[in-house]
Structure 1
Amino acid sequence: MIYFQGADMHNKEAVQLAISSAQKPKETQTEVITRLASLSALEYDRVRDHEAKALGVRVSVLDKEISLTRQVTPQSFDMFPTIQPWENPVDGAELLTEIYNTIKRFIVCDDKTVVATTLWIAFTWFIDNVQVAPLAVITAPEKRCGKSQLLDLIGRLSRRPLVASNISPSAVYRVIEAQSPTLLIDEADAFLRDNEEIRGILNSGHTRQSAYVIRVVGEDYEPQQFSTWGAKAISGIGTLADTLMDRSIVLELRRKLKHENVERLRHADKWLFKRLASKLARYADDNGLAIESSRPILPEELNDRAQDNWEPLLAIADYVGGEWPQRARDAALGISGIEHDSASLSTELLMDIKEIFDTKGCSRMSTADLIDELTADDMKPWATYNKGKPITPRQLAKRLGEFGIKPQTIRMSGRTPKGFMLDAFQDAFKRYIPSDDSSHLSATPQHDSNNLCIEPVSNVADYSRDNT
């Protein structure tokens, strides 16, 4: 406290004036836009000319930016429910069990899905303490399986939930930058499948270190960084793009049978979810630093990406203790274990080629023979790969080129068609085919002979035109 006495009194007014006129910390451009978007129409109209001049942009550009921001942040200060942390310390194991039982009351699904959903909900409250943010992908083979119901339930218990259907790419990163929500995207199968831009944005938010996109803004196209870090749950029929599924905890649902009775979520006591959310808020406040420093033991049966996805969930399960560490690992193996890995189309091609070489006992095979073998099974995609027609030599070479495997001229009984040597596949087999399937690979096939897999002359002529 400052005291003014005697001759110093005449300086009092000067000091007060200096204090009152001290500059406030300069707002960032994002903070200015967020502040202006929160104003009423009349308030914004009074200041728009001055603010546009201060930002160095035309008023029309500022109006457009404010309109876009208001579309993704309506009533920005009231858009999230107010959650007061529970007044007393919370037992973590008991809290997770309460959430688990609540999910069982309203949703028909397997136990592993209930466990994973419980842990993912808890994870949203520790988003500031973890380094990986796995997507929660709610999927089912058909409609009326409870996908939207589960997404609704997750939203009632998650930190800062924001529901968005058919969201645009720019809305994703703008709302995350402005509000840091738990983003809940419904009906993803209707708009996400062919939207590469939004897939790239969602992919970028998987790890904290890489959770940014760069976009140009304003009349001068100034580069600006936007955060994409945050918890995100996506609901839709079927599977999403491989890159999204690879970053996900998959929550599979099924249509309930007549004897499977659950309560209707819309009739649930609202206090039930407010009470659980309040306990989650308190538990996160008390234990955030402990979760941040946790390094759980990750099951070796999970691949590297699956280990990343499950790390924050296992950290929570290990910390709360009780039966949750084991339940969490059982769920992880049941949902994301190697035997549940869905191979990409290129990996599926490798697996099918390996099976052909194993069956034929060859050390080499012409392109024509390989395609004949691949397309012999109507249940596999290669017979109709080319818009309903068999995969072509050029398409085969392009797929295999992803693994560094290229067709070459091979010698077979005095002829030299284009084809592939088994040795060229060995490295890819070991790296990309699950170890259980590739453990018996050897550099030399059991029945190595130049006389095996001989290509008919007519087929050589047909396929040589592609020169692959």
Structure 2
Amino acid sequence: MDESTSSTNPAGAALLDELREATARYVILPSGEALTAVTLWVAATHLQPALQHAPRLAVVGPAKRCGKSRLLDVITETVHDPLITVNTSPAVVFRAIGEDPPTLLVDEADTIFGSVKAAEKNEELRGLLNAGHQRNRPALRISGPEHKPQAFPTFAMAALAGIGDLPDTIMDRAVVIRMQRRKEGERVEQFRSRRDIPSLHAVRDRLTAWLRPLVDTAAELVPVMPVKDGAADTWEPLVIVAELAGGSWPEQARAACVAMCAAEVGQDDEGNLKTRLLQDIRCVFARREDPDILRTCDLLQELNDDREAPWAEYGTNGLTPRHLGLLLKDFGIKSATHRFEGGRQAKGFARARFTDAWARYCPDEPGPESGDGSTPQDSGLVR
């Protein structure tokens, strides 16, 4: 079933508006898009039996007092069946997840994954969080007096809050909310459990009453997504909720998806650096009129001479042949010995080896044409 508005509900749109306002009452989010994302993520927890993917909500900040725990407080009182995992063993969490899973909540996640020792200790929990992003990824454990293998479901939405980025495997599966400390003049209401939880529970119960009857409808929706691949999987449940609500929410959801996914592209430092290297190498080939082969020493000289690029400061003496090889390894690109004009042999890179990586990782910057696409022979004379 394609994107449809046949099940949209004005009351649902108004309820999302109310949830959005309730969240903003206690927490200042970094942007309107982030507030939209949190609102839709909370609502999506009430549709988990219909979903193929269970997006994580990564609430991260650079320091203490950025509102991470307060946001988690509000989320806890509005999501479906919250399960707080602090001091809870993975075995308990495994057994708590079923066909209608709870919503996992992890505060101070940096203390769980922030150090090598802590990460090793909590590797089982991270494995559960990684596997549980997609349906039908059970965890096998030996259980019972007969010590037989048993498959435990892992599929469940999860919100994690902590200082600094969470492990890459979690961040890649998450809607990321990057909190900031409040500025002078920014005001929010104090959160008081006795006073505020009843009203939040009222919103939660109305979300359940609206969305639970729509589980079968939601399971059939295939919304048009403005992003691709893993990002589309993570954001699809939020867009499904927006489609069910109608009004301005479908537009808001897709705008938030595009803006927040784009913002996260630059956060992957290592991946971003490798992509930058591919782009800069393409420029070097273009400046030299696209030779079939480029000497490694010439390539490195041009890269290190570019004062607006990071390569001169990469390592102690700038980018080296070893550094270059390691950065290009994941793209399957290696140097080889070639024979150049005058019969001299030297290490170099064939331009044809880069064309596939350029097409995959730098599609927005058209590269120079590669002629007939043939790969030069290593024994050939390069002029």
Q: 1:336 to 1:167 in 2, by over 3 A?
A: farther
- The answer for the alignment partner of 1:297 in structure 2 is 224
Report the secondary structure of 2:49's partner residue.
Answer: coil
Q: Which amino acid in 2 is paired with 1:397?
A: G
- The answer for the alignment partner of 1:176 in structure 2 is 97
Within the candidate set 184, 193, 199, 1:258 is matched to 184
Task: Give the TM-score normalised by structure 2.
Answer: 0.81
CA displacement 1:417-446 (0-9 Å, x = unmatched) = 22322221110111123x32x3344326xx
- The answer for the alignment partner of 1:113 in structure 2 is 34
Q: Which amino acid in 2 is paired with 1:258?
A: E
CA displacement 1:128-151 (0-9 Å, x = unmatched) = 111111111112222211011111
Report the secondary structure of 2:150's partner residue.
Answer: strand
- Alpha-carbon distance in structure 2 between the residues aligned to 1:221 and 1:375: 60
Shift of 1:352: 1.8
CA displacement 1:137-179 (0-9 Å, x = unmatched) = 1122222110111111111101111222376655543443599
- The answer for the alignment partner of 2:334 in structure 1 is 406
- The answer for the alignment partner of 1:102 in structure 2 is 22
Write the mapping of 1:130-169 to structure 2, written as runs, cut at 5 A: 130-165=51-86
Q: 1:177 to 1:288 in 2, by over 3 A?
A: closer
Q: Which amino acid in 2 is paired with 1:354?
A: Q
Of residues 132-141 and 353-362 in structure 1, the stretch that sits farther from structure 2 once superposed is: 353-362
Shift of 1:231: 0.7
1:240 and 2:166 matched: yes
- The answer for the alignment partner of 1:281 in structure 2 is 208
Within the candidate set 227, 234, 243, 1:318 is matched to 243
- Alpha-carbon distance in structure 2 between the residues aligned to 1:292 and 1:261: 40
Q: 1:274 to 1:219 in 2, by over 3 A?
A: closer
- Alpha-carbon distance in structure 2 between the residues aligned to 1:382 and 1:245: 30
Shift of 1:213: 1.9
Of residues 221-230 and 133-142 in structure 1, the stretch that sits farther from structure 2 once superposed is: 221-230
Aligned-residue RMSD, C-alpha: 3.0
Write the mapping of 1:54-453 to structure 2, written as runs, cut at 5 A: 91-109=11-29, 110-165=31-86, 170=91, 172-176=93-97, 180-193=101-114, 194=116, 195=119, 197=123, 198-209=125-136, 211-217=137-143, 222-266=148-192, 268-299=195-226, 302-337=227-262, 340=265, 342-343=267-268, 345-346=270-271, 348-359=273-284, 361-362=287-288, 363=291, 364-371=293-300, 380=310, 383-384=313-314, 393-414=321-342, 415-433=344-362, 435-436=363-364, 438-443=365-370
CA displacement 1:265-293 (0-9 Å, x = unmatched) = 23642221111111012112222222121
Q: Which amino acid in 2 is paired with 1:274?
A: H
Matched-pair identity in %: 35
Q: 1:177 to 1:104 in 2, by over 3 A?
A: same
Are the equivalent residues in 2 in contact too, given 1:165–1:188 (CA < 8 A)? no
Report the secondary structure of 1:265's partner residue.
Answer: coil
Q: Which has the higher contact order (CA 8 A, sep 6+)?
A: 2
Shift of 1:236: 1.6
Structure 1: unaligned runs, 5 residues or longer: 1-88, 445-468
- Alpha-carbon distance in structure 2 between the residues aligned to 1:172 and 1:298: 32
Are the equivalent residues in 2 in contact too, given 1:214–1:225 (CA < 8 A)? yes
Shift of 1:402: 1.9
Report the secondary structure of 1:191's partner residue.
Answer: helix
Are the equivalent residues in 1 in contact too, given 2:44–2:238 (CA < 8 A)? yes
Q: Which amino acid in 2 is paired with 1:226?
A: F
Shift of 1:339: 8.0
- Alpha-carbon distance in structure 1 between the residues aligned to 2:323 and 2:338: 19
Shift of 1:392: 5.5
Are the equivalent residues in 2 in contact too, given 1:201–1:213 (CA < 8 A)? yes
Shift of 1:243: 2.7
Shift of 1:390: 5.5
